Amino acid sequence: MSLVDRLGSLVGVSGPRGEAPPKYRAIAPGLIVTDTEVWGWYEVRTSNSDLKGERGRDQEQDRSEHALRALVGRECQIKVLWGEVSGENYLRDLRVDDLPEAEPRTPKDEDEGRPFSGPEAAREWAAIRADSIDDFNLPDRRVLLGVKLADRPQRTGEQAGRALGLSTERVSDAEMVRYSALAHQVGGPLRASLWRVRLASSEVLAWSITREMHRGAVIPREDTIQGAGLARLASGRFEPQSDHYTMRASDGSVAAYGAVLALTDFPEVMATPGQEWLALLGDIETSPLDAADGDGAPMFARAEASVRFVIPAARAARKQVSEARKTASEQSRSAARGSVGEPEETITVAEAELRGIEFALSRRHTLLVNDHPRVIVTAASRGELEAKVTAVIGAYDEIGVTAAVMVDEQREGWLESLPGDRVRVPDLGHWRDSTALVQSWFWGGSRVGSIDPRLPAVGYTTGSTAGLVRYLGTESVRQSDAPVTVFLGRTRRGKTTAMQLAMLDAHLAPVNLASDPWSILVDTKGDADGLVNAARHYGITADLVRVGPEYAGALCGFATSDPEHAVDNVVSQLTLCLPRHLAEQATSLLQRATASVRSANTRPATWQVVESLSKLAETAPSESLTREVGETLAAITSSGFGRLIGGKPTGAAGLPLRPGITVLQLPDLRLPEAGTPEDRWTPAQRVSVAALRGVLGWCTMLAGSRELRARAKLVAFPEVHLLTATVDGRMYLTQAARMGAAFGLSMLLDTQDVSGIASLTGLAEGISAVFGFAQQTEQEQDALAKMLGLPVDEDTRAVIDSLDKQPAQDLDASDAATVRRGHCLYRDQSGQVATMQWTVPSPELRDLLDTSAAATAARIEDARRQHEDGHDDEAEVA
Amino acid sequence: MSVETRQHELFNVDLGEGVPRKALVAGMVVMVAWWALLGLVMGTPTAETATLWILPPALVTVFGWRESERNPRRRNITEWVLAVRWIVTGHQPVIGLGRQTGTAHRRSVLVRVGDRFGNGDALALLMPWRAEESMQAGRQEQPTGRAERLGGRVQLVGTDTAASMRARQKKGKGKRR
């Protein structure tokens, strides 16, 4: 220690403040090599912890504390950075470039409105998604964990080389290989831990350095970055002011303002949830009052963090504690000798506490951490910077942590935050229990959806961290997993649009192109023709089929279920058609008739049952049950939907079995309102529900046909709550789902009745994904919570209740009243749950899909006008 | 994790609650430095100048050892030292992460003092003859330094001419040799 250092430490200015900045020599996957040190860098995976209950969170915290043990004895740094979810990366992940080249479209094709070819359509679809991702401007949180692997001794050979002017500053390949092995070795236990770390790519590491320079240097796409490429990344001009710093662009103008804050004081005891001191960085917003310039609108502070820490090995830690304790004891002895008699309270308390820690350390109950947390705020202007700094200080104040701008030490603070640097301002650090570090929850966030990057992104998570949500309806079947996706929630919350988007995705996802999918949307309201337009717009073959008399007999129970359950299904379908007072008594009669038809015919059908019953009725005495049932059934099946169930097939029409989207419209279907008890259904409604059942079976059986064997198949079915309203309806649904699964059919079911679906154990097993939209009654909320695997409590209910409310920051007078659509809870295949927002990639598509009455009217009006215009043109030509 | 050590008695004199040891040592250092300085300037102390000899180091020690209001984890003296450090070296830019060192101070000491303790304009009031400079410092956006004139005459040279020029140069070299 030199005299200057001694004097410095006397006035509290110790530490290597003035040391030269790190000199980067090489960047490789997971490695940053500086002149003097080698650091291994890992990317920490965000865990999905937003909606975990108290127990789940405690478990995660324990596991993290355990993971810290792998870092004992090493210098480490956690960096929390904000990037941007970019459309470009999305396209790269989808591997759109690998799609086969399509034949170029000629102007003639365009004139004739011929659709794009498959790959071209997929590319177009991916491109509009990518654009919308760019528009959303989602922050992408990245958590990097750096671990110092080794010191790099200055070799004499190198020094000699430098003296002779032969040095190239190149890190030799042998050295890199050794470091790389070390990085893998140190990362091993961390990879298996809760954090699921993986080596940070060179690209990410280069980005983490060059972003601090604010010069927008191009990041080389190489595995190992050295020499000139590296120098370019690190070029920038940093100018420290006393309470902030400025970064200058290459033309000398200010590129950014920034400030480094230190977290100087923490409360003695921290509680989670509530005091996660790193997880909160994503939520900090400036207050409109602070905004000195601009329009005063609140914005996210997007503060970043750098925490350098060391967990000393048990012996070193004990030594440290024991020395401090000895000093305290000496103090109390010295005070005892003096006139005060007894030492200050703080000394006595400290002595006792240190004794406790020493004991815990010797028993290995706890780990001691020495950490130096810093928060870095950057902004485009001084006013913005001040507003953001105020917001950060305020947010930390709320959880009892003191954040203070490092006055006169901006240079030190900024350098400290760079990877490969060191602690320069040691006196603001903390010595504490490792729990305090774990309570920062730096890995926590919200994440849901498939991790397969080739799947389309249907939306983004809206929890504490944002990320793309990848979902593909046909994916779980491809992986031989449960085939059903359910959309739960009240009407007009965006369920139908979500379902339609999922169908378009099934056809346009690059992974699905080869299997040329076939899908059907059953449309009971007659408003889904938007899907046909949208599908055609993107080059998918699409048919609109209105189910009329030509489909007589198509919904027959024999034709729409497997032979094993056929009799039961025919009976219950017919029973459903009958009026309530007949239904209960007629069961055995129907059973007998159906059984005999089945045994007598090779190709049994419901119309035969009806015919045999009406024959019986002719001979039966009047007023008898047989007569009444026979005549009623004959009447019901002679027209309308009854004819589709029990009419004689005309053999005229079938559903298209070519690949593409089919919208199956059932106009005039009179479905009862959700929640109407079964005994209140009118005769027309009963027949409609029976027909609806038939439709589900029909689609399922179609999916099993030979023509579709090799294709991906998808059925989207609405109003399932009408099936789950009755006991045998529920059984039927379960059966259909099982049958579909056997054929490799993926199902999207839409229902308003959560408890109904939840009570179906058989079906619940077949569900791979759940999208839960807002619910109002407590009973439904609890059922949804159960479906999603969330703890059934007040917190979950509040989350579900608020799903359709506009987020607070976007709220202004005009928005306050509007319903938030497409915002839901999603439980994915692996059981993760998070809130997410479905996104319609372009306004054009939104118009095409919009199912509201006004939009439909507008569309019709448009079509009419176009038609008229066409006529006008013709007239002019004439 | 450090315990502030206090001295409870010194040379058999009881100090009651005790004095922080570091303050004691630092006080002595300051005292010695001050005396050395005064000794050089004024020679030996007299009864009239005794206050001047004793008061400044005593004040520095006493107020310097008070807890800083801005950052309770630090003493005032630490902040003072850091402020001086910023004015002397801490304001220097980091260029290309130290690949290049700043060649000259962009702002004079007085402007830096003004920057540190207020804004440049406040300094302009005190030192009107520095107004221009301090204004510049206040306006951070403005790149300082002498303006360079860029540009010059452009000459377009064809390939043939270039080749002949090159040949001439080579010949010239040959002659010299």
DSSP labels for B64-87?
HTSBPSS-TTSBHHHHHHHHHHII
**A10 with B25: Cβ contact below 8 A:** yes
With contact defined as beta carbons under 8 Å apart, do A33 and A149 qualify? Answer: no
| Chain B closest-CA separation from residue A331 CA (Å) | 7
Euclidean distance between CA atoms A804 and A773, whole angstroms: 8
**Which one, of A395, A375, A401, lies nearest residue A298 by Cα?**
A395
Whole-number Å distance between alpha carbons of A505 and A840: 11
Please, how many CA atoms are within 13 Å of residue A865, restricted to the half-sphere of its CB?
6
pLDDT tens-place string over residues B109-167: 777 777 777 655 555 555 555 555 545 544 444 445 555 666 667 777 788 888 888 88
A262 near A373, Cβ under 8 Å?
A: yes
- C-beta atoms of B141 and A331 within 8 A: no
Contact predicate A388/A379, CB 8 Å: yes
Q: Closest Cα to residue B97, out of A606, A419, A488, A79?
A: A419
* B29·A10 Cβ contact <8 A: yes
* Across A540-553, average pLDDT: 84
Report chain B residues whose CB lies below 8 A from the CB of A238.
Answer: 93-95
Work out the pLDDT band at A325, boundaries 50, 70, 90: confident
pTM of the model: 0.81
Condensed to tens digits (0 to 9), the pLDDT of residues A483-500 reads 899 998 887 788 888 999
The strand pairing partners of A53, in sequence order, are none
Rounded to whole angstroms, how far apart are CA atoms A250 and A236? 7
Tell me whether strands A75-84 and A304-310 are parallel, antiparallel or unpaired.
antiparallel
CB A555 within 8 A of CB A691: yes
Residue A420 tokens read as 């490969």
Tell me, letter by letter, the H, E, C secondary structure of A808-873.
Answer: HHHCCCCCCCCCCCCEEEEECCCCCEEEEEECCCCHHHHHHHCCCHHHHHHHHHHHHHHHHHHHHH
Say how many C-beta atoms besides its own lie within 10 A of residue A621's C-beta: 7
Q: d(Cα A643, Cα A548) in Å, to the nearest integer?
A: 9
Structure tokens at A208: 């983490």
Q: Is B96 helix (H, G, I), strand (E, B) or coil?
A: helix
CB neighbours of residue B128 within 10 Å: 10
Q: How far is B154 from chain A (nearest CA, A)?
A: 23
Which pair of tokens denotes residue A853? 């009455």
**Average pLDDT over every residue of A113-142:** 83
Residues in chain A with CB shorter than 8 Å from the CB of B97 are 21-24, 234, 236, 418
B8 and A407 in contact by Cβ < 8 A? no
Whether A65 has its CB under 8 Å from any CB of chain B: the answer is no
B108 touches chain A (CB under 8 A): no
Q: Which of A279-293, A303-317, A670-684, A857-871 has the highest mean pLDDT?
A: A303-317
Averaged pLDDT, A708-735: 82
The CA distance from A746 to B81, in Å, is 71
CB distance B96–A339 less than 8 Å?
Answer: no
Least trusted range by pLDDT, from A142-151, A250-259, B148-157? B148-157
pLDDT at residue B15 greater than cutoff 80: no
Asked if A240 reaches chain B (Cβ–Cβ under 8 Å), the answer is yes
Task: Name every chain B residue with its beta carbon within 8 A of the beta carbon of A239.
Answer: 91, 93
The predicted pLDDT at position A835 comes to: 92
Please report the DSSP string for A123-148 in residue order: HHHHHHHHHHHHHHT-EEEEEEEEEE
ipTM attached to this prediction: 0.75
Is B103 in CB contact (< 8 Å) with chain A? no
Which residues from B are below 8 Å from A331, CB to CB?
A: 3, 5-6
Q: Cis before residue A273, ω within 30 degrees of 0?
A: yes
Contact A338 B82 (CB under 8 A): no
Strand order through the sheet with A713-717: A468-470, A457-461, A833-838, A823-827, A767-772, A484-488, A745-751, A713-717, A518-523, A660-665, A542-546
Q: Do B90 and A428 touch (CB under 8 A)?
A: no
C-alpha count within 13 angstroms, C-beta hemisphere, residue A463: 27
CA gap A522, A576 in Å, rounded: 20
pLDDT of B176 over the 70 cut: no
- What are the chain A neighbours of B11 within 8 Å (beta carbons)? none
Closest approach of B17 to chain A, Cα-based (Å): 6
Q: What is the mean pLDDT of residues A38-53?
A: 89
Which residues does chain B have within 8 Å of residue A324's beta carbon, measured at their own beta carbons? 1-3
- What is the separation of C-alpha A430 from the centre of its chain, rounded to a whole number of angstroms? 35
Q: Which residues in B lie closer than 8 A to residue A337 (C-beta atoms)?
A: 8-9
d(CA A489, CA A622): 48
pLDDT tens digits along A59-102: 888 888 888 888 988 999 999 999 888 888 889 888 877 777 76
User: Measured between alpha carbons, how far is A719 from A750 in angstroms, rounded to an integer?
Assistant: 6
For residue A285, the number of C-alpha atoms closer than 13 Å in the C-beta half-sphere is: 12
Q: What's the pLDDT tens digit per position in A186-231?
A: 998 898 888 889 999 998 999 999 989 888 878 888 888 888 888 8
Q: Which of A343-352, A770-779, A869-878 has the lowest mean pLDDT?
A: A869-878
Q: Which amino acid is at A854?
A: A
H or E stretch including A600? Answer: helix A580-600
